[in-house]
Amino acid sequence: MDSGFKNKLPSCDNYVIEHLNHGELKITELSSRLNELPGNTRSFCTIPYINPTVNPLKINLFSEKESYLFGVTNYDCRENATLLFSPRISKDEYVQQVYDLKKKIQKGIIYEINFCMQFISQESDIDPLSVYIKLQKLAKAPYSKLVKIEEDFIISASPELFLKRTGEIVETKPIKGTARRSAVALEDEMLKKELFNNGKERTENVMAVDVARNDLSRVAEKGTVKVNKLYNIETYETVHHMVSTVSCRLKRNLTFDEIINATFPMASMTGAPKIKAMQLIDETENFERDYYSGAMGFIESNGDFEFSVTIRSIFYNVKTKRVSIAVGSAITHLCDPEKEYEECLLKAGALLKALNAEIKV
């Protein structure tokens, strides 16, 4: 329910803030957690990352209570003190772990795995809305959101679409392949072309596409799964990405839960084969992903939905004062562990700037 423009910020436990054009924020106040999708009402959903072969998915549902606009100019943004982040894994440990994963790839145990690392800052005091506004200016990501679920904040600048349903058509857009931006136009264009022609990045991308095709085939009418775009280069404020699009027509009478259970987690955040990659993620990563690399988005009253992958995000618990970020990259037989580490830091750049943060060396 849209209530127009209001000069107030939400005081409820659960809400979503989205950045619109012309310096406006859209604020959606949410109900408490629901056990099932509400009928004839727009709702919001978060799905933390989990290995569904080990544990059932945790689909958190909330109905929309009220939505309204708020002007950014009405908000006095606060700059927090410099934060220091501690890596949960050292660079040397990361490089060694990637070499170990490459040995498993060489043995044919897996072909690709998305290996992630986490950085944490304890006893930190931040203003989530100020950080979100700054992050949106830095990243201008298509799926930016500030989400509050009780004591937890998710400050997200995600560029990646997990799943979008429009009528009987669903699509997913896995990202695999990253290059830095340049302030020099000619060099920036050269970096885009190099990314497009990079054999390693194409290998990573097509493996994620194959996993996505397999996931969609579980819910698709026979013969309708197709790759709409392959190796498409999309440009964002801080990076270029290689993005592919896979879609299908859904079988009849599928429930929301059936669609999500067949496709989650996102292909690009697991690996190939997917089940074995998730098992190795459980064994090798030294942190619980939780909301990171999960999904979130709105479900319309007619059943259409749009979910982003919860990456390029900041996680803050207002009670414990703990801030964390996580980043990752695809590990294949062609990858260079040192360059994979550099790619992870590149992806973390805008998050650190928005937080006025540094990583302890």
DSSP E strands: which ranges in the chain?
2-5, 14-19, 24-30, 43-47, 60-71, 83-87, 112-121, 143-149, 152-158, 161-166, 169-173, 175-180, 226-235, 239-249, 271-272, 295-299, 305-309, 313-317, 322-331, 357-359
The pTM of this model reads 0.95
For residue range 18-54, list pLDDT tens digits in order: 987 777 899 999 999 998 888 789 999 999 999 999 9
pLDDT of the residue at 77: 85
User: Which of 20 and 306 is assigned the larger pLDDT?
Assistant: 306
Mean pLDDT of 242-268: 97
Task: Quick: pLDDT tens for 115-149.
Answer: 999 999 999 999 999 999 999 999 999 999 999 99
Model confidence at 356, in pLDDT bands (50, 70, 90)?
A: very high
pLDDT score of 74: 72
Residue 1 clears pLDDT 60, i.e. is over it = no
Question: What's the mean pLDDT when you consider all of the chain?
Answer: 94
Closest CA to 72 of 7, 144, 145: 7
List of residues 6+ apart from 336 with CB closer than 8 A: none
- The H or E element that residue 354 is part of is helix 337-355
- 2-359 sits in which CATH class? alpha beta
Mean pLDDT, range 164-175, rounded to an integer: 98
**Residue 185 pLDDT more than 60?**
yes
* pLDDT for 217: 98
pLDDT of residue 3: 60
Residue 268 is predicted with a pLDDT of 96
pLDDT for the residue 183: 95
- Per-residue pLDDT, 2: 56
Lowest model confidence (mean pLDDT) among 33-42, 180-189, 225-234: 33-42
- Is the pLDDT score of 338 beyond 80? yes
Q: Give me the pLDDT at residue 21, please.
A: 73
